[in-house]
Amino acid sequence: MKNVGPLDGIRVIDLTAVVLGPVATQTLADFGAEVIKIESPEGDLMRANGVVKSKGMSSIFLAINRNKKSVSLNLKDLKEKEQLLELIKTADVLVHNMRTTAIKRLGLDYDTIKEANPKLVYCAATGYGDHGDFNGQPAFDDIIQAGCGLASLSGHERGIPEYAPMLLADKIAGVYTANAVLAGIIHQLKTGEGQYIEVPMFETLVAFSMTEHLGGDTFIPPLGEAGYKRLLKNGRKPVPTSNGYAAMLPYTASHWKAFFSYCGRDDLLEKYELNDRHERNKRISELYSDLQSLTVNYSTEELVHICRQLDIPATQFYSIHNITEHPHIKSVNLFEKFNHKKEGEILCIRPTSLFEKTPLGIQGGAPTLGEHNDDYLNQ
C-alpha cells in the first residue's frame, strides 16, 4: 500500500530555509502534502551545514527536507518571480520564515498574495511578533534561547547561561508552525477561506519555557518567585549509582513507598507524609537527598531492574552516539536505511506518528537543488 498520508492533495509552497521553517514543512510533507521548496540559485544555507559528503547535501539538510520537491528560482528576476506567482495560485498553503520587510520587498506579502489566491493559508514564521517592539530584529536559535530564559534555566545551578546543545528553539517553533498550518487547513476546508497566520519564534519559546516555571508569578499578587522548584532545587537529577548514574522518577506515593520498602527503610515511610502530595512537594529537596543516598548502593543495571519490578519510571542513560542501539528504538525501526538517488544509502529517521488509514513513510529523500524545476515551471 502506498504511503500517502492524511494531507494527500494539499499543495504547499515552501519559502523557508535554515531549520525552523524546514522542520515545519517537512512535517507537512511527511503527512502527505506536496511540498514545493523554493530555493535561490545558491540554495538553502543548511545545504552546507553539518557533515557533507557531496556539496549541497549536508547531513542536516538531508534530515529536515525529505519528501519535498526543490524548485530553484531567482526571485529578483521578474520572469522567475512571475513563475512563482503562478505556482502560488495553485497552492493551498504558503509558509515562509523571512523578515516582514524582506517578504514585502519581494512583493510576496500576504496582502499582495491574497488577491491572487484568496483561499491560501499563508503562514509567516517570524523571529518576533510583528506588532511588538522587536519587530524585524534578527532571530536565530542562540538569540532566542538567551532571550526567552531557556539558556538561564539550563545553566541555573552554575549561575552561567548555557545553550542547549541542539537547535532547540528552531525545532520547537517548527513544530508549533506545523500545528498552526494544520489548524489553518482545517478552517480552509470547512469554509473555503484563507487567512494570515503568524507564529513568532520568541513568544512561542517564552510560552514553552514558562509553562511550568511561571510559578508564584501566576497569581496576582504573586505568591512567591517564578520557577518550578522540583526542577530547580535539587529536584529531578540523575541519581547516582555504584557505577555511574541512572534516570529514576518516583512520582506517586506508591512509587516512593515501594522503593523505600524494597530498601528496608521503613523509617523513611514514617519521616514523610507520602500520601499528601502537597506536603511531599514541600520537602522535595530533602526527599530526593534521601533517595540518592539509597540509589548509590546499586549498580545502574540493578537499579533499573528494581524499578521495572516496582513499576517506577527509570532508564539507563543513552547518548547521541548509542541511541540507535536502544532496544526499543530498534524494535520500532525508527532509524531506516534509505537509498538516496545522489547520496547512496543513508540513515533516516522515519515519521514518528502512526496513522491507521493514511500511513506515513519516506517517499523521497531531500531533493537536490532545483531537481524539480522541469516538473513545475513552464507548464
Q: Are residues 134 and 169 in the same domain?
A: yes
φ, ψ for residue 161, nearest 5 deg: -60, 140
Q: Are residues 85 and 159 in the same domain?
A: yes
d(CA 263, CA 256): 11
Which pLDDT does position 373 carry in this prediction?
97
In a domain, 53, yes or no: yes
In a domain, 326, yes or no: no
d(CA 65, CA 25): 8
- Structural domain for 23, as ranges: 11-208+332-376
Extract the residue ranges of the chain whose pLDDT is less than 70. 1-3, 234-235, 379
CA 15, 17, 23 angle in degrees (round to 5)?
100
Helix (H, G, I), strand (E, B) or coil at 94: strand
Which pLDDT does position 1 carry in this prediction?
40
d(CA 152, CA 321): 27
In a domain, 234, yes or no: no
Whole-model pTM over 0.85: yes
Q: Are residues 51 and 172 in the same domain?
A: yes
At 25-46, the pLDDT tens digits run 999 999 999 999 999 999 999 9
Q: Are residues 339 and 276 in the same domain?
A: no
Q: The CATH number of the domain where 309 resides is what?
A: 3.30.1540
In a domain, 271, yes or no: yes
Q: Are residues 247 and 174 in the same domain?
A: no
Q: Look up residue 179 and give its three cell numbers.
A: 500545528
CA 284, 225, 230 angle in degrees (round to 5)?
20
At 325-352, the pLDDT tens digits run 999 999 999 999 999 999 999 999 999 9
369: nearest Cα among 20, 122, 31, 54 = 54
Q: Look up residue 285 and give its three cell numbers.
A: 529537596
In a domain, 275, yes or no: yes
